[in-house]
Structure 1
C-alpha cells in the first residue's frame, strides 16, 4: 500500500477504504508519511469532501490515535457541551452549574483561547487560586462532589488532531467541513459522555459565517455522533453580535455568575437555558423544551445552581466568595466610555471587531506566546434593536494600559451599524437539529 495511490484515489473522487485511511493516518502519526503527501491528501479532501463511510473511519482513527477516557466513576448522566466559539461565549461557566443542580454531570476538556478573547481555561484562571484537574482521577473526584469537571487538553488525547491541524493551518485546508467535523468529534468521542450537545455559532463573530455553512457543519457532526451511537443534538446560535454584554475574562465570569442569580442578559440567558433544557430532554427527564426551561428557572431561582458553582470553585482551589464579592477577581485600572457618533436603531454589531478591540488591550492572544490580562475587556451596553441617540454610551472599555485604548474605541465605533427604521431584536437560536 502506498500513500500516493490513496492520494490519487481521493483526487479522482473514488472512495478510499478503511484500511487505506488507517494506513495513511497511522503512518503519518509515526512520521513515516511526510507532510507534503499528507498536505496533498488534505487538499484533495478540501475539494472533494468525504463519503459517510470515510468520515466515520477517519474520525475513528483520529480518536484512537491517543488515550480514550471513560469516566466510569462519574455517578451522573454525563453531558458534554461543545461550542465552535465566538465573542463573549461564556456559556460553559453558567451552564455546568445549572446542569449539576438538575442532577446531571458535565466533564469536558477545555483549551486556552487564541484570538478574540480567552478560552474557557483563561476565564476560570481569572479566579485566584483556581487549578484545573490534571488527571482523570482528579476530574472524577471533583465531578462527583460538584457535578462539574474541567480538564485541559492533553497531548495524549487525539494527538493526530494536533499534528493534522498544524498542517492544515499552513496549507489553506482549515475551512473543510469534513476536516472540521472530524477534528471536533474525535475529541468529543475520546471522552466518554452519555450525551453531546453542539453549539454551532454562525455570523460575523463565528468561524462559520453563514447559516447554510453552519447547518452543514452541524449535520456532519450529528452524522458522526449517530454513527458512534451517541445521543447528540446541535443548536445553531447567533454570533452576529457579541453574546451577552461582557467580553473579557473576569468580566465574563461576573456575567455568568449574574446569570446564575437570574440577572443575566436576555440573549445569553436564553441560550444557556435552552441548552440545559435540551440536556434534560436527552436524559429523558422532560418531553419538551418548555418543561426543561421551567426546571432550569427553578434551580436558578432557588440559588442551587449558584451554590454548585461556588462549591466547584472551592474544590478547585479558588475562593467561593467570588459569587458575592467581585472585588476578589482581577480589577482593571480605568474605563473609557465609547459614545455613539450617530442616532438610530442598532442594526448590527460586528462581533469579530469587538473581539479584536478587546484583544488589543490584552483580553485575548494574537499569538500563542501572548500573556492574557484577565481583568480587561469590553462591556457592550447597547445591542441590536436598541435605540441610540448621538452621544449615548454604547460600550465601555475596561483597561490597564492606555496605549491601545483609543484604537480599541475606534474599532468598537466601526463595529456598530445603525438604521433609521426600527430594528427587531434578533433571536439567539436559529435552529435545533437532532440526529
Structure 2
C-alpha cells in the first residue's frame, strides 16, 4: 500500500493507524526496546543485590543510568534535530546491545565486579539519553497530523504492555541462567535497531546550519515561550512528583492489605493494566474536543484516586484505585505528548523531546524519593494522602496559571 492510499484508509477506519507500515515498525521496535530494558533492569537488580545485599548499591544502579541522561539532555536533543532520527535511535540501540553483552560477560565471569556494572550502566544511560528524545520526536513523522493522537495512544499502550511482560520475563530468564536475560536483551535491542532503520520517515532533510551554543538550549527556551506546552509538561512533572504512591506499594501490600509477593505483583500490575486499556480505547476514540478541560479533569481524578488509595484497607478498592491511577495517567500522557508534538516545529522536536524526557525522568525518580521521605517522616497513610492532596492543589493552581492550556479545544490545531 503506498503512502497516499494508506492515508485515505487512515481516515476511513479508526484502527487503520495500527496497520500503517511505519507505525507497525515503530511500535514493534518500541515494544522490543522497552521489554529488553525491563529485562535488563530486573536482572541487574537481582545480580547486584545477590552480590552486595545492599539497598544503597541498588539505588546507585538507577543513579548511574539517570545521571548521563541529566548531563546529556540538551546535547541529545540537538543531535535528534540535526541528524536522521532513525539512525540516532538505531545507533543508541546498538550501544545498548553492546552493554548487554558486557553485562553478560560480567555476570558469568568469576567474582562479579560491581564497579564494572556501574560503568556499563553509565554507558547504557548515555545511549538511552540519545535514543529517547529521537524516538519521541519521530512519532509526529509517522502519520498525518490528524492521526497523531491515535498513534500516541497506541504507543502508550504498547509501552505499558512491555512494562508488564518485561519484568516477569526477566525474572524467569534469570532463574534459568544469570546470562540469559542479557542475551535476550541484546537480541531485542539489535532487532529494534533493525526495525527502526526500515521506517520511512516523513520529516525533511536534517538541518545543516552551523551549530551555535544557544541551539542546545533552544528547546528549553521554546517551551518557556509556549504557555500550552510549558503548562502541560510542568503539570505532569508536579503531578507525578507529588502523587508517586506506587513507590510505596511494598509497604501498602505488607502492612495495610496484608498481602504476600503475589499480591504485590497484582498491585504493581494494576496501574499498567489501566494505562494499557485506556490507551487502546483512545486509539479507537481519540480526544477531539475540550482537550485542556479533560487534561485537568483527569489530573484531578489522579489526585482523588491517590487520596482514596491512602485511605483504603480493602484489596479490591486499592486495585481499583491503582487501575484508575494508571488510566488517568495515560490519558494525561496522550494529551501532553500530542500537544507537545503538534505544537512544536519538526526542526525543534528533538530538543523539546529531550527536555520533556528529562522532566519525566526527574518526576519519576524524585517522586519515589519524595514519597519515601514523606512516609518516613509522617507515616505511610499521611504521606499518600498529602501527595494526593498536593496533586489536587497543583491541578487547581495550574488551571488558573495557564488559561491557554485550560481553554485548549483541539489537540491538533
Question: Structure 1 length normalisation: TM-score?
Answer: 0.27
> 1 or 2 for the larger relative contact order (CA 8 Å, sep ≥6)?
2
Structure with the higher strand share, 1 or 2: 1
Calculate the TM-score normalised by the size of structure 2.
0.28
Judging by fraction of residues, say which structure has more helix: 2
